[in-house]
Chain A
Amino acid sequence: MNEKNRQFSTFFISDRMYGIDVMRVQEITRALPMAKIPLAPHYVHGLINLRGQISTAIGLRELFEIKEKAVDEQMNVVCKLNEVLVSFLVDRIGDVVELESKDFELAPETIPEGIRRFVEGVYKIPGNLLSVIDVDKVSEFFVKSTPTLGRANSSLENH
């Protein structure tokens, strides 16, 4: 493998393609039963029992403010953020792809801020554009929005 090449675990939300660095992905599972958390921000779907560990399910669709309706059964992309298990709910899982840095480009200013804040950049691959999600930015967002999550949340919906 070329040094500058990176591998990504890809997935789809409403046919838009995203990728997370494989090194950051712990596992991918099918839809699992979850316990809803009342009063939690709308993108927190609930808690999942992942073989005895509790994982918090985050709806990427809601987090990215994608309006299209979700599919019935969402897959889990499980990552460890700051020692905490988080399952990102996505519509469909794609392949693991190895991409060259020459195809990389920073996220254009024109894409909505709601998603741009989590995107590291874009890989131009044949027939599609892959948005790379920086899970650390997601984690940062959680931390930043924690104390006033309720209010931050409602202001997001006003967008």
Chain B
Amino acid sequence: MPNDKAMDPAVLEFIAEGKEIIERVSQCLQEIERASGIGTPDQVGALYRDMHTLKGSAQLFGYQAIGLIGHAMEASLDPLRKSKAAIPNRLLDSCLKNLDLLDRLLKNIEANGNEGSDHLEVTRLASLLVDAATDNAGAEFKLTKDQLYTDEKRTEIKTPAPKSPEVIESSVKKKTPAAKPLTQEAVAPVEAIKPEVQVPMNSNPPTPVETTTASAQQPVAGQIESTVRVQVSLLDRILNLVGELVLVRNQLLQHRNKTEDPEFLATSKSLDVVTSELQGEVMKTRMQPIDTVVGKFQRLVRDISKDLAKRIDLTLEGADTELDKSLLEAIKDPLTHIVRNSCDHGIEGPEERKKANKPETGHLLIRSFHEGGQVVIEISDDGRGLNRQKITAKAIEKGLITQEKAAKMSDREICEIIFLPGFSTAQQVTSVSGRGVGMDVVRTNIEKIGGSVIISSVYGKGTTLQLRIPLTLAIVPALLIKSGKEKFAIPQVKLVELVRVGGDSNSGKIEFLQGRPMYRLRGALLPLYDLGNLTGEKTIDYSQGSNIVVLNVDGDYFGLLISEILDTADIVVKPMVSFLRHLNVFSGSTILGDGTVALILDVGGVAEYGKVLGKKKQGDERELFSRGEKAAHAIDIQEFLFFSIGQDATHAVPLCLVQRLEEFEPSVIEHSGEQKVARYRGALLPLIDLRAALNYKKAAAVTNAENLKNDRISVVVIQRSGRNYGIVVDEILDVVTVDAAIDDTIRDRTGILGNLLYQDSVIVVVDALGIIERITPDLAKGNGKKAGQAALASESSLDEIRSRNRDLKLRKIRVLYAEDVAFFRRHVSKVLNEAGMDVTTVEDGMKAVDELRSASDGQYNLILSDIEMPRMNGLELAAEIRKMEKYRNTPLIALTTRFREKDISDGKAAGFDIYLEKLNPEKLLASIQSLMSEKSNAKESEKEVNS
């Protein structure tokens, strides 16, 4: 072929079309393969047509090798098209190999303008195909012959479609000469199979299958014409221009406020609408379904699993989720790497899986969906998961962390290790993975496009990687801030939170460590950098209060001190001019709605410039894992929701109880009998007036009137036993982190857990669950009086039990309590301590098991556990405990907020003796008492029987 053809746009068109066909055919073949080789008539018909088209156009341009392969594939698929028989594996395999070759040939044309001199391979593969097809055609022949008779009977009834024989006829005629100019070895077998193929075709043209494929062809032809190929660069330019248009529109809209000309207002309004719509549509032109990338993985997984002798099934979900084309390109390699990793390291071989009691076929799931303006791609496998021991051993061996550090690291931090440069746990370097260029590259590449990677893994159960990708690169949601006179934009993806510090507010202050500003963020030191140092605008008077923007740089946090937070906005990113691109504190600039220019801060660059983060890249593990230490530290801190209910003291509930905060219009509040309710998420939400519930002197009637005066009613939604309850408060104040225990020495009324000392004032902690419990029997049964009495009764019984416990001097009860929420750990411990028990607390099931294993005999004679905990939940813990000889009969109590019947029965089945609700000390103590005496009685009677 002459080289200058490469310049011909028609050839480019041919290449593009050829690639599409190869893609489509490859997918289709794999679908057929998964269906054990049986393709639907539509699929086989489509395959046939595609190969036919490719062959035809290749011959038109004189690309003979492609023509030959296309022809061979077409010919070998033809009999199957008629017979509905299964495609044998051998044929499928050789079809796929031929597709690879076709792809290579097309690439050669793209690069050199000719197919290259791969003739040997072409003839080899083509004859392979022909061999496979000949085998097949032999079998096929019989099949079609059998069908021949039945079909003939049918044709008697049906009027044969007159056109199809000619169509087929002519295509057959074209085929034969087309294949001729090629090397003889290849042509000969093709010719040889020809008659066999043709026999059923010519003698029985109007088969029903034939007619359906012929008719199916029509709409496809129509679809092709409805699309136009456009250069991506043109789309980019259009996108840019629309970006500009959006900005001009924004400027116009600002101007609109200054005028009252009705015509201008109307015109600008419609300009606004049209621009928004145009922007949306233009963005769509660059959007492509994720399928264009993940669709290829079917083939990849198939090939890898064959190589590794594993059985892996790939499921794609949400592959139609769309993403900007340039982003798709950018995530292609990282995704491929992740999929390879999952197949190679993650999913075990069939033998190992069998031993682990798993189905022999491993499952890989790629799920894509939209969430919060981002596209989330999740790749999860049900393989062996990350092995803590192996990873730490390897990391220590490679000098990435130290032994002591490894022992202290949480599982999450261990997972993070695999993102360190140069880390790979593969035992051997295989062709699939393990070359040491690993997850660090994946993370870097994803973060380059403003995305993030999160990994989670359960040892023995599987690993999930979650990629979060912005929808498009061009428009980025950002926070606009001001330093001095200049405005800056910070991409939202880097933003963790905003903190207002100092002044007269009670929110801590900026401190200095060796002259460097620091802030205590929930107990951990957050290094700060004053943006004024960068901009040269020293505007922040720290004592007057300032704003901290907490930013995330590759998992490390620092705070940017700024003088003013302006707004959030979607910005169009413009790159910096080349001669300023070395300023890595900026990633570009943008034009804001008011026409001013703002620089976009590159958060990583600012951190580097301000030297607020350590030199992580040099492998200082201390910096890397400092975040983990913060997290560990944070466990012992409790968060409370502060609110006011018109009393002198501020009231609070533990934040862990709060489901949501809502505001209701007074008009939505209805009455069911005397109970105020609001419709909430398809159910009735009982509203509890906290003042009335706590018997405060200001009457409920007054509250009502006051509440009604406000536009909206603030409600704290709390869930108990799977139902929502709304607690009406006057005003929600704040969420405050308190590092102090609840003092319950003063409890002047029921419904109060105790008091907190917070910044010199006393905060009343409300027993929300207790109040709900007291009120709910009223709601459920309508017998208010009895419930009231019951509440009183339980109140008295608490004291009773306490005194009884002390009086009876029960055998010392030593409790192990597993609970992940600090508030409950403290509160329940306190209750139990006061009842004279010894309590040891652990944060999750795993730690509980460790503790129980290492404990001496009889160290614990009662175990309490939450149900929902990280790492090992309560049910798993119970099962584990019951497996241990020395704890087989130890009383086991579940303390939980999950309280449906199913939960209770599950709990009992797992081995819990009693299933109780959190924050009900009376019941807890009573239950412990009865359970302990029951068990000891049982023991005694056991002894008696034994003796």
CB distance from A91 to the nearest CB of B (A): 23
Q: Nearest Cβ in chain B — how far from A147, in angstroms?
A: 6
> For the complex, is B586 an interface residue (Cβ under 8 Å from A)?
yes
A35 and B487 contacting across the interface, CB-CB below 8 Å = yes
User: Smallest CB–CB gap between A48 and chain B, Å?
Assistant: 7
What CA separation (Å) do A82 and B579 show in the bound complex? Answer: 11
Of B486, B578, B589, the residue contacting A54 (CB under 8 A) is B589
Interface string of B567-601 (1 = CB under 8 A from A): 00000001001111111011001010001111100
Q: How many of chain A's residues touch chain B, expressed as a range?
A: 20 to 34
Q: Among the interface residues A33, A36, A38, A47, which one has the most CB atoms of the partner chain B within 10 A? A: A38
User: Is the CB of A40 closer than 8 A to any CB of chain B?
Assistant: yes
Residues from chain B with Cβ under 8 Å of A44 in the complex: 580
A35 to B535, CA, bound (A): 11
**CA–CA, A125 to B247, complex, Å?**
45
Chain A residues within an 8 Å CB radius of B9: none
- From B572, which residue of chain A is reached at the shortest CB distance? A52
Q: Which residues of B contact A49 (CB under 8 A)?
A: 591, 595-597
Residues in A with CB closer than 8 Å to B578 are 82, 84, 142-143, 146
Candidates A33, A40, A56, A149; contact of B596 at CB < 8 Å: A33
For residue A34, which residues in chain B have a CB less than 8 angstroms away from its CB? 597
> Contact at A146–B579, with CB atoms within 8 Å?
yes
Complex interface: chain B residues within 8 A of A82 (CB): 578
The answer to whether A142 touches B579, judged by C-beta atoms less than 8 angstroms apart, is yes
Query: Within 8 Å of chain A (Cβ to Cβ): is B244?
Result: yes
Evaluate contact between A52 and B596: CB separation under 8 angstroms.
no
- Complex-state Cα separation, A56 to B535, whole angstroms: 18
Contact between B577 and A56 (Cβ–Cβ < 8 Å)? yes
Residue-wise interface mask of A (128-156) relative to B, using a CB-CB cutoff of 8 A (1 in contact, 0 not)? 00000000000000110111010000000
Interface centre among B248, B579, B585, B596 (most CB of A within 10 A): B579
Q: A35-B487, A35-B589, A35-B598 are in contact. Are A84 and B535 (CB under 8 A)?
A: no
Q: How far is the CB of A31 from chain B (nearest CB, A)?
A: 14
B534 contacts the other chain (CB 8 A): yes
- Bound CA span A47–B580, Å: 11
Residues of B within 8 A of A96 (CB): none
A35-B583 contact, Cβ under 8 Å, with A52-B591, A146-B578? no
Minimum CB–CB distance from B560 to chain A (whole Å) comes to 14
Whether, in the assembled complex, A37 has its beta carbon less than 8 Å from a beta carbon of chain B, the answer is yes
Residues 16-39 of A, flagged 1 when their CB comes within 8 A of B and 0 if not, give 000000000000000001111111
The answer for the CA separation of A5 and B534 in the assembled complex, in Å, is 49
State whether A37 and B596 are in contact (beta carbons under 8 Å apart), knowing that A54-B574, A149-B579 are contacts in the complex. no
Complex alpha-carbon distance, A9 and B579, angstroms: 25
Q: Does B536 contact A (CB under 8 A)?
A: yes
Contact of A48 among B580, B582, B597 (CB under 8 A): B597
The CA-CA distance from A40 to B582 in the complex, in Å, is: 9
A40 and B579 alpha carbons, distance in the complex (Å): 10
Q: Taking the nearest CB of chain B, how far is it from the CB of A128, in angstroms?
A: 32
Question: In chain B, what residue has the closest Cβ to A139?
Answer: B579
Q: Residues of A contacting B598 with CB < 8 Å? A: 35
B582 near A35 (CB under 8 angstroms)? no
Q: How far is the CA of A33 from the CA of B486 in the complex (A)?
A: 11
Q: A35 near B534 (CB under 8 angstroms)?
A: no
- Which of B579, B595, B597 has a CB less than 8 Å from the CB of A47? B597
Residues in A neighbouring B585, C-beta threshold 8 A:
38-39
A143 and B591 CA atoms in complex are apart in Å by 25
Residues of B within 8 A of A145 (CB): 579
Shortest beta-carbon distance, A149 to chain B, in Å?
6
Q: A33-B596, A39-B585 are contacts. A143–B574 as well, Cβ < 8 Å?
A: no
Contacts across chains A and B counted by CB atoms under 8 Å: 64
Cβ distance B277 to chain A, nearest Cβ, rounded Å = 20
* Of listed A34, A35, A143, A147, residue having the most chain B CB within 10 A: A35
The listed residue with most A CB atoms (<10 A of its CB), out of B244, B486, B580, B586, is: B580
Alpha-carbon distance between A36 and B484 when the two chains are bound, in angstroms: 11
Cβ-defined partner of B583 (8 Å) among A36, A39, A143: A39
- Which residue of the partner chain A has the closest CB to B592? A49
List, in ascending order, chain A residues with CB within 8 A of B579's CB. Answer: 142-143, 145-146, 149
Across the interface, A35 reaches (CB within 8 A) one of B244, B599, B609, namely: B599
Complex interface: chain B residues within 8 A of A39 (CB): 534, 583, 585, 609
Contact A47 B486 (CB under 8 A): no
Contact indicator A147/B580 (Cβ below 8 Å): no
Kindly identify, within residues 37 to 70 of chain A, every residue whose CB is under 8 Å from any CB belonging to chain B: 37-40, 44, 46-49, 52-54, 56
CA distance A54 to B583 in the complex (A): 17
Query: Chain A's nearest CB lies how many Å from the CB of B604?
Result: 15
* A52 CB to nearest chain B CB (Å): 4
- Assuming the A-B contacts A34-B597, A47-B597, are A84 and B487 also in contact, with contact meaning beta carbons closer than 8 angstroms in the complex? no
| Complex Cα gap A56–B579 (Å) | 10
Is the Cβ of B582 less than 8 Å from the Cβ of A47?
no
Q: What residues of chain B lie closer than 8 Å to A36, measured between beta carbons? A: 486, 535
Known contacts A40-B580, A54-B597; decide if A35 and B486 are in contact (CB<8 Å): yes
Residues in B510-538 with C-beta less than 8 Å from chain A: 534-536
User: Which chain A positions have C-beta within 8 A of B534?
Assistant: 38-39
Residue of A nearest to B585 (CB): A39
Q: How far is the CB of B536 from chain A (nearest CB, A)?
A: 6
A49→B599 CA distance, assembly (Å): 12
Give Cα A39 to B580, complex, Å.
10
Give a binary string over A84-119; 1 marks a CB under 8 Å from any B CB, 0 the rest: 101000000000000000000000000000000000
Which residues from chain A contact B596 at a C-beta distance below 8 Å? 33, 35, 49
The residue in A49, A56, A142 that gathers the most chain B C-beta atoms within 10 A of its C-beta is A49
- When distances are taken between beta carbons in the complex, the residues of chain A under 8 Å from B595 are 33, 49
Are A54 and B591 closer than 8 Å at their CB atoms? yes
Q: Using Cβ atoms and an 8 Å threshold, which residues of chain A touch B581?
A: 146
Determine if A37 and B599 form an interchain contact, defined as CB atoms under 8 angstroms apart: yes
Chain A residues with Cβ below 8 Å from B586 are: 37
Chain A residues closer than 8 Å to B486, beta-carbon distance = 35-36
Chain B nearest Cβ from A50, distance in angstroms: 10
Q: How far is the CA of A54 from the CA of B487 in the complex (A)?
A: 15
B832 CB to nearest A CB, Å: 59
User: Of all chain A residues, which has the CB nearest B588?
Assistant: A54
Taking a contact as CB atoms under 8 Å apart, the answer to whether A47 and B244 are in contact is: no
Chain B residues within 8 Å of A86, by CB: 577
Within the assembled complex, what's the spacing in Å between the Cα atoms of A50 and B599? 15
In the bound assembly, the distance between CA atoms of A146 and B582 in angstroms comes to 7
A94 to B574, CA, bound (A): 32
Interface centre among A40, A53, A143 (most CB of B within 10 A): A40
* CA gap between A37 and B487 in the complex, in Å: 11
Q: Which residue of B lies closest to A52 (CB)?
A: B244
Q: Are B582 and A147 in contact (CB under 8 A)?
A: yes
Q: How far is the CA of A46 from the CA of B580 in the complex (A)?
A: 11
Known: A35-B486, A38-B535, A47-B589. A52 touches B580 (CB 8 A): no
Q: Are B599 and A47 in contact (CB under 8 A)?
A: yes
**In the complex, chain A residues whose CB is within 8 Å of the CB of B580:** 37, 40, 44, 56
Residue of B nearest to A56 (CB): B577
Contact A84 B599 (CB under 8 A): no
Contacts of A33 in B (CB 8 A): 595-597
Cα–Cα distance between A52 and B592 once the two chains are bound (Å): 10
A-B contact list, 30 entries, CB within 8 Å: A33-B597, A35-B596, A35-B598, A35-B599, A36-B486, A37-B580, A37-B583, A38-B534, A38-B536, A38-B585, A39-B534, A39-B585, A39-B609, A46-B597, A47-B597, A52-B247, A52-B248, A53-B244, A54-B574, A54-B591, A56-B580, A82-B578, A84-B577, A142-B578, A143-B578, A143-B579, A145-B579, A146-B579, A146-B581, A147-B582
Contacts A47-B597, A84-B577 given; 13 further ones with Cβ under 8 A? Answer: A33-B595, A35-B487, A35-B597, A37-B599, A38-B535, A39-B534, A39-B609, A40-B580, A44-B580, A49-B595, A49-B596, A82-B578, A149-B582
Instruction: Pick the 8 closest A-B CB pairs, nearest first.
Output: A142-B579, A35-B597, A52-B244, A47-B597, A146-B579, A38-B535, A56-B577, A84-B577
Interface residues of B (CB under 8 A from A): 244, 247-248, 486-487, 534-536, 574, 577-583, 585-586, 589, 591, 595-599, 609
